[in-house]
Amino acid sequence: MPDDSLTELLRERFGHDGFRGGQRAVVDGLLDGRSMLAVFPTGGGKSLCYQLPALLLDGITLVVSPLIALMKDQVDALRAKGIAAARLDSTLAREDYEQVMAALDDASLKLLYVAPERLSNEGFRARLKKLRIALVAIDEAHCISEWGHNFRPDYLKLAKLCRDLKVPRVLCLTATATPSVAKDIRRGFRIAAADEIRLSFHRPNLDLKVSPLAAAERKPHLLARLRESEGAAVVYVTLQHTAEEVATYLQKHGIAARAYHAGLPDEFRASAQEDFMAGRTRVIVATIAFGMGIDKSDIRAVYHYNLPKSLENYTQETGRAGRDGALSSCELLACGDDLVTLENFIHGDTPSPTATRHFVDHVLRLGRDFDISPYELSTVNDIRPLVISTLLTYLELEGVIEATRMFWATYQVKLLRDFERVLAGYDARRKAFLRKIFAAAKDGWSWKNFSIADVAAQTGEDPTKIVTALTWLEEAGDVVLKKSGIRQGYRIRKDPGDLRELAERLDVQFRRRESADLERLAEVVELAGQKRCLTGFVTAHFGEKLAAPCGHCDRCRGVAPSPLPRTRQPDPSQDELRAIRALRDEGHAALKTPRQLARFLCGIGSPAVTRARLSRHDAFGLLERLPFAAVLDLAESC
């Protein structure tokens, strides 16, 4: 397309007079029919790279994004520009869902945003095969790499899906891919090395500081920094209770601050974000739940109250400062005490070999076609839900199983009018069917409870037919439905072979991931103790060598590094050892292996501990001050 025509379209539909760095190269590559990888730092204008081509390509652009809030914001913004865009996510009402499906069928959509989990639905994949897909854009593409900092199991399947759908071009977008992760992405999507467009990670307006501090020094230090500066600030912490604690401290000392974390009710989080965006709240104290898709250009400071878990996280979070180009401060309040908590989180995500073997044996003996509840699998095997998803994805990638459909196991049904009056509008056959399934449901106080599997077994009717009937009654205005108990269907594709060998292979993969995560944390410590230019150290991590020191970081100003303060923690006392022995004598099934016991003593929750309500036990977190490896050694010797 001629330069002037493309620039005119950019101005007309998006209101920009010209392209920003890297955007034109990506757009041209896609319009030429090539798959591309865009590694742009936070705020680099990644979304335009697929939104503009979507208007010119023949067919629909499918955008895969893990962030529902971001999808909603982008769809709303595109619609405001008169661009036909829609999203499919779990928050849509059925009527809205049907409208999106109708727009897909009549080919009136140009962009469709979906979460990666939706692609596990066999029916949705079948629908996609009927569409003319011009482009698949994958946001947060670093999630594809197992060795990246934010691996998501559903992303692993995207490359195969794009090949199955015969997608002509793919655009992978990320702000935090190291050269090795970028190579992983290119290999998965068959992107040529020349078609990776990587912008500089050097932000000249970001002033990097590292302040080694003892744990007790951090709050007064942060308060002093905020009092001597102006403008909006984000303070990143690791734990939810730390967010509350620090925000309360700042409020008591006259700073307009709010906490933000995943444990808060939705309306509290929305209120905190709105107040921050509008300037009513100056400081937001948040876990990493805050920031993705936040478009506030005048954040003047980002403080890492706790050590981030990787340089990728550090870069992504500091990158939210100074998007307007004005000078902004990014300060790491470096305390070695944080390492125990961060390392323990990593160990908590690694299942024991016994749990992995139990999982494999359990799942692969359920029959040729089966369905599972990730929650139940998590509880039975004492493996965290995300890890369960990863294990299932590994089995899919090995070709052992294939995802079929996702559905709800239980429906609660509330009649809005007399049952006989509801039946009056149907023929004899449908009346008999509805009487039969309602008779098989369990009566509640004002709701009837349909366990779909139980009702199907009792009546001999097809589960899909039962769900369809209930949905039809809801659409007719005769009932209100509440759904719960999500289940994912699978199909065995091939003989898995020796199950013990398979479990051992999976266990090796998890050990490798655990080591990689610990190495990433060690790189953060290396940054804190770095003797040379801090900016240069960070950019080198992403494959970029600065021609000269940045001139705007602590090291370039002559501030020398000093060791990270770390509180010396006492060994377990005799009282603590007696408490541990007493705990073992109680014989809790949730604590039967040394790894389970070590996690418990370190205060790391698990599905089995939650189910047994042991997180209130006096011994929970008894040794959380100690490294996991030391506590595991103790658990093995008990």
Q: Are residues 183 and 82 part of one domain? A: yes
Whether 37 contacts 186, CB under 8 Å: yes
For residues 634 and 595, what is the distance between their CA atoms, to the nearest angstrom? 10
Q: Which of 177-181, 286-290, 313-317, 551-555 has the lowest mean pLDDT?
A: 286-290
Is residue 499 assigned to a domain?
no
What is the DSSP-derived secondary structure letter of residue 527? H
Beta strand pairing call for 369-372 and 60-64: unpaired
The pLDDT score that the predictor gives to residue 149 is: 53
Same domain assignment for residues 534 and 603? no
Residue 323: inside a domain: yes
Q: Could you read off the pLDDT of 148-168 as tens digits, one per residue? A: 556 777 888 898 899 999 999
Q: How many CB atoms lie within 10 A of CB 188?
A: 21
Please state whether beta strands 479-492 and 369-372 pair in parallel, antiparallel, or not at all (unpaired): antiparallel
Closest residue by Cα to residue 417 from 406, 425, 409: 425
Give the pLDDT of residue 634: 93
pLDDT, tens digit (0-9, with 9 covering 90-100), for 354-395: 899 999 999 999 999 998 988 889 988 889 888 898 899 889
Residue 529: pLDDT band (50, 70, 90) is: very high
pLDDT tier at 106, thresholds 50, 70, 90: confident
CATH number, residue 462: 1.10.10
Q: How far apart are CA 519 and CA 309, in angstroms?
A: 10
The whole-number pLDDT of residue 31 equals 96
Using alpha carbons, select from 175, 185, 138 the residue that is nearest to residue 317. Answer: 175
| Domain boundary pick from 198, 220, 244 | 198
Ranked by mean pLDDT, the top range of 3-17, 216-230, 422-436 is 216-230
For the chain, the residue count is: 638
Residue 324 covered by a domain: yes
pLDDT at 1: 54
Asked, for residue 275, whether it belongs to a domain, the answer is: yes
pLDDT at 293 over 60: no
d(CA 417, CA 553): 70
Strand order in the sheet with 36-39: 85-88, 111-114, 60-64, 133-138, 170-174, 36-39, 196-198
The answer, yes or no, to whether residue 632 has pLDDT greater than 60, is: yes
pLDDT, mean of residues 519-548: 96
Mark whether 159 and 243 lie in a shared domain. no
The pLDDT-based confidence of 289 (bands split at 50, 70, 90) is low
Q: Do 415 and 423 meet the contact criterion of CB atoms below 8 Å apart?
A: no
Task: Answer whether residue 445 is part of any domain.
Answer: yes
Among residues 451, 371, 445, which one has the least CA distance to residue 411? 451
Residue 173 lies in a domain: yes
Residues 160 and 251 both lie in one domain: no
Residues 168 and 59 both lie in one domain: yes
The token pair at 210 is 């590292």
Number of domains observed in the structure of the chain: 4
Residue 223: predicted pLDDT: 98
Could you tell me the CA-to-CA distances from 309 to 160, 286, 523 in Å, in that order? 30, 15, 9
CB 608 within 8 Å of CB 589: yes
Q: What CATH number has the domain bearing residue 253? A: 3.40.50.300
What 3-state class would DSSP assign to 369? Answer: strand
DSSP state of 280: S
The structure tokens listed for 526 are 């290396």
How many Cα atoms within 13 Å fall on the side-chain side of residue 132?
A: 9
Distance (Å, whole) CA 16 – CA 35: 25
pLDDT at 97: 81
Q: Is pLDDT of 524 > 80?
A: yes
- Write down the pLDDT at residue 67: 76
537 shares its domain with 438: no
User: Are 47 and 149 members of one domain?
Assistant: yes
Give the model's confidence band at 234: pLDDT under 50 very low, under 70 low, under 90 confident, else very high: very high
> What's the rounded Cα separation, in Å, for the pair 421 and 212?
73
Task: Give the pLDDT score at 397.
Answer: 85
Spatial separation of the C-alpha atoms in residues 235 and 306, rounded to whole Å: 9
110 and 60 Cβ atoms separated by less than 8 Å:
yes
Same domain membership, residue 615 and residue 532: no
pLDDT of 73: 84
What digits encode the pLDDT tens for the residues 463-488? 889 988 998 898 788 898 898 888 88
Q: What are phi and psi of 528, to 5 degrees?
A: -60, -35
Query: Residue 419: what pLDDT?
Result: 92
CA 500, 501, 503, 504 torsion-angle sign: positive
* 559: pLDDT strictly greater than 80: yes
Q: How far is CA 575 from CA 19, 76, 572, 622, in A?
A: 67, 60, 8, 11
Q: Do 192 and 110 belong to one domain?
A: yes
Give residue 292's pLDDT.
55
Question: Taking a C-beta distance cutoff of 8 angstroms, is the pair 383, 355 a contact?
Answer: yes
Q: How far apart are alpha carbons 212 and 566 in whole angstroms?
A: 10
Three-state secondary structure call for residue 212: strand
Tell me, what's the pLDDT at 283? 97
State residue 44's pLDDT score. 73
Amino acid 364: pLDDT: 95
Confidence check: pLDDT of 341 > 80: yes
pLDDT above 80 for 565:
yes
Tell me which residue range forms the domain holding 434.
401-492
Where is pLDDT greater, at 217 or 386?
Answer: 217
Backbone angles phi, psi at 61, to 5 degrees: -100, 120
* Packed helices 338-348 and 499-528: angle between N→C axes, nearest 10 degrees: 160
Task: Verify that 30 and 178 share a domain, yes or no.
Answer: yes
Per the CB < 8 A criterion, the answer to whether 175 and 139 are in contact is no
Distance, CA of 479 to chain centre: 35
**Three-state DSSP class for residue 65:** coil
Closest CA relative to residue 15, chosen from 48, 58, 41 = 48
Residue 528 belongs to a domain: yes
Q: Classify 196 as helix, strand or coil.
A: strand
Q: What is the DSSP string of 465-490?
A: HHHHHHHHHHHTTSEEEEEEEEEEEE
Identify the pLDDT of residue 37. 97
Handedness of CA 623, 627, 630, 635 (dihedral sign): positive
pLDDT of residue 147: 57
Cα–Cα distance measured from residue 528 to residue 526, given in angstroms and rounded to the nearest whole number = 5
pTM above 0.85, yes or no: no
The bridge status of strand 401-415 relative to strand 111-114 is unpaired
Q: For position 2, what pLDDT does the model report?
A: 55
For residue range 53-103, list pLDDT tens digits in order.
Answer: 999 999 999 999 887 777 888 899 899 999 999 998 877 777 788 888 888
CB atoms within 10 A of CB 280: 11
Q: Is residue 352 part of a domain?
A: no
Share of the chain above pLDDT 90, in %: 60
Q: 247 pLDDT exceeds 90?
A: yes
The CA angle 73-234-270, to the nearest 5 degrees, is 40
Lookup: tokens for 419: 């049952």
Q: Looking at the structure, do residues 37 and 80 belong to the same domain, yes or no? A: yes
Is residue 145 located within the same domain as residue 230?
no
Place of tokens 């039969």: 436
Q: Which two tokens stand for residue 238?
A: 């690791």
Q: Give the end of a domain, one of 177, 198, 219.
A: 198
Last residue of a domain, one of 198, 216, 240: 198
Arithmetic mean of pLDDT over the chain: 90
Give the confidence band of 444 by pLDDT, cuts at 50, 70, 90. Answer: confident
